[in-house]
Structure formats: structure tokens, C-alpha cells
Amino acid sequence: MPYTRLGLQRRRATSQALRLRLCATMAVADILALVTAFLAALVFQNLDDNWFAILFVTVPIYLGAAMNSGAYAVTALRHRDCGRVAALQALVFTFGALFLISYFFRIEQRLPRSTLLLTMIVATALVVLVRYSIAIVVRQRWRDALVMEMVVLDDVQPSLRASLIQVDAKQAGIAPDLRDPMMLNRFAELVRGVDRVVVACPAKRRKEWAMMLKGANVLGEIMVDDIADIGAFSFGRIDGHETLTVASGPLDLSQRIMKRGFDLVLCSMALLALAPVLIVTAIAIKLDSNGPVFFRQRRVGRGNAFFEILKFRSMRHELSDAAGAISASRDDNRITRVGRIIRRTSIDELPQLLNVLGGSMSLVGPRPHALGSLAGDRLFWDVDERYWHRHVLKPGITGLAQVRGFRGATHHRDDLVNRLQSDLEYAAGWSIGRDIYILFATFKVLVHKNTF
């Protein structure tokens, strides 16, 4: 929205009035939730009227705690949960205070703890429901009107959505002149009541605008499009020089220790339990065709470093594709009789437990690919430059992509992209719980239509 002084005044008044109404609505809704919870306890627990009188102590405690935790702040209105977390924190504090009052003043008969707990549960459910409903209404009806976001344009014209307040610095008569008190006052009047001010300017004027924003009592930001392409997420320094952090390992030391310990324990147990299967498979391979039991191939591992993967050989030795450029097909004549069985049941992957034991792989992680792997007629990294990002973790015997059904030959670009998205999602949100889930889910897809 282009800037006009009258339009800005109207927008400011509308936004402030809307916030007041929403905050009042949330406060009244919270009070009604507490009243309903106390009424439910009064009815179902057969308590006397003294119990309901405790509500008059509870409400002010809750409102004070809610305001202190930011449940009615502008940030709560802007957030997608509409302050649910802050409201729940206030509820915990309120009922915690009631529990302490009950204990220290020896009034358990008037303030039974079991009843307090029931009341808290009901109140929590109601508050969450109310906040969720308000959040939906706010997003659908008042998303842009609720928050005032201004972009000051100084000799640049980025593409912006129409709902933003757009101010041309020259037309508004403002400049980052810290030696002119009148200019500073003009800027202060412009941004008064605005929630967020972003300045888009040439690189040589960023410092001056930053100094201007620091004294304006506003959330101020400088638009820096030229660092967006490198994906920086924090700042640093080295020998007096500023740096932008663009990468870090996804797991800290404690998480790496946890994942490695998990791998070692389960891998050792699996090797012992599956020893008969491994021995029988090895014998069957030797009897079925000439060549070694194991197939060894260079794959890309953690940190984009190479390692040698182990698999049971499922193809004729003289026809094996060491580069991995040719994916196996359904009627591939390179696959042996035993190979067809062990590939369909994923038994050919079991020797990778030795890779896990040796530390080059993990039980769960992005599946390692051969250097010559193709999606259609293009190398994987030519399809999507983010391909190398998947190697921030050790490769796994199974992974999120596999349990989602993204496995088998990569005849098309989407065959790779779907796997890559899953791998990046796994790396960004790793947890030991997710590893356990993926391992259990793997048993459901051991036999899959895309394995041959």
C-alpha cells in the first residue's frame, strides 16, 4: 500500500482498535473458560458454594500471569497459535499457586487437590480451543490489518505484497541523517505505532539507516537480499572481520553420541540374531553363480567423503556396474536367481550392518548413492544443487525416503527430488524418536513394488 499521511493515520487507528477488541475478547474468553471449568467441578464433585468463591481469587491471579507471559501481547496475536503457549504457562502458574495455597494453609477440604487437577484439565482444554478458534478467525479476516509493517524504500524497488505500507524515502522527505534532529523527529512521527520497519536501501547506506533505526523505538530491520542466496543463519567474527555462518553440523556432540550408541547396540544385536540368515545367503550366492559373496562399491558418505559400501552380490559378477550408472530394472538379466530373491526382500542390504559397526554408516539416514547414479539422463547433483546437502549425516541402511515409498529406480527427475526432500527434512529434524519410528516403519516396506 503506497504511503499517504492520512492513510497511515487511518491504518494505525484501525489496527489499534482491532488489537484492543481482540485482546479484550481473549481475556473474556479465558475468564469464561475458567468459570466453566469451576462450574463443572462444582456440579460433578458435589462441592459447596465456597468452592465457587475461590474463582474470584483465581481469575485475577490468572489474568496477571497471562499478561506477564505475553498472552495478550501483539506478538501473541501475530503468532499462529495466538498465544496458546503463553496462556498455558499462565494456567500452570495459577493452579500451581492454588496447590501451594491448599498445602501451606491446610485447606485441603475446601480446596481438594484432585478437584483442582480436574478443573485445571478442563480449563486447559477450553483455553486451547478458544485460542485455536480465535487464531483461525484472525488469519482468515484480519491477518494484514492486525499488524502494521512498513517498508522504507531508498533508491531501490523490491517486489512487495500490496498489504505492506510502502514509503518512498525521498517523497516522504526522510533520510538517514543523524546530525539533523528535525529529520530524526520526522522519522519518529512516520514510524510511530508501526510494529515493524524494514529499510530497503543500497549497501553503502545500510549503516546509516541501521543507526537511524536503533534510536527509533521500533523493531527495525535492513533488507539484505544479496546474502539470501547463500543461506546465512547467524553472524560471527574472525580476527576482526565479520563472517556469515552458512553451515553447521545438524547434530551436537551429545546427539552424535546418542545416535552412535543407538547404532552400536542395535547393530550388534541384529548381527547376532541374523547370523544364520547371513550364512545361508552367502552359501546360496556362491552356489548360484561365480564371483564373490559381497558386492563392494564406492558411495558418497557423510561430508561428501567416499566410502566403500557392502552388499550381498545380486548380479552376475562379470556384468556388475561399479559406477552405478545403470539402475536395475524389473526384467534385468544381470540379476541372478538368488539375487532376485534377496533384492526383493532387502536381504542384500544386510551386510551394511558391518558398515554401521565400522562407523561409515548409520542404521537410519539418507541412503548412499553411487557416483554415477542418474535421474533420467542427468547425474543426481545436476538435477538439484541441494543434493550435496543431504550428506551432512551418515548414510543409512534405511531412511525417511524409503519408508515413504521413494525407492527403486530413478527414471525421472521427481524420483530423485522426492527422496531429496525427505532426506533434507530428516536432517533438519533429527531425533532418536524419529530414528526408532523409521526402523519400525521399515519392516512394512521391506517388500516393495519398486524393488527388483
pLDDT in tens, 289-298: 899 999 999 9
Instruction: Taking the CA atoms of 59, 63, 69 and 72 in sequence, report the sign of the dihedral they define.
Output: positive
pLDDT score of 451: 55
pLDDT score of 41: 75
pLDDT score of 415: 84
Grid coordinates belonging to 242: 565479520
pLDDT at 316 over 70: yes
pLDDT score of 322: 61
pLDDT in tens, 72-81: 776 666 666 6
pLDDT at 277 over 90: yes
What's the whole-model pTM score? 0.58
Task: State the average pLDDT over residues 196-209.
Answer: 91
Residue-by-residue DSSP string for 114-149 = HHHHHHHHHHHHHHHHHHHHHHHHHHHHSHHHHS-E
The DSSP secondary-structure symbol of 389 reads G
Element (H, E) at 375: strand 374-375
Do 121 and 60 contact (CB within 8 A), yes or no? no
What does the alpha-carbon distance between residue 5 and residue 78 come to, in Å, rounded to a whole number?
A: 25
The dihedral over CA atoms of 99, 100, 102, 103, expressed in degrees to the nearest 10, equals 120
pLDDT at 52 over 70: no
Grid coordinates belonging to 206: 545500510
pLDDT score of 452: 47
pLDDT at 306 over 90: yes
- Better-predicted residue by pLDDT, 109 or 396: 396
Query: Which residues is 168 bridged to in the sheet?
Result: 153
Task: State the average pLDDT over residues 98-103.
Answer: 78
- Better-predicted residue by pLDDT, 347 or 148: 347
Neighbours of 259 (CB within 10 A): 21
Grid coordinates belonging to 300: 558418497
pLDDT at 365 over 90: yes
Task: State the average pLDDT over residues 54-62.
Answer: 85
Task: State the average pLDDT over residues 351-362.
Answer: 96
pLDDT at 379 over 80: yes
In the block, residue with C-alpha cell 547433483: 381
Average pLDDT score over the chain: 84
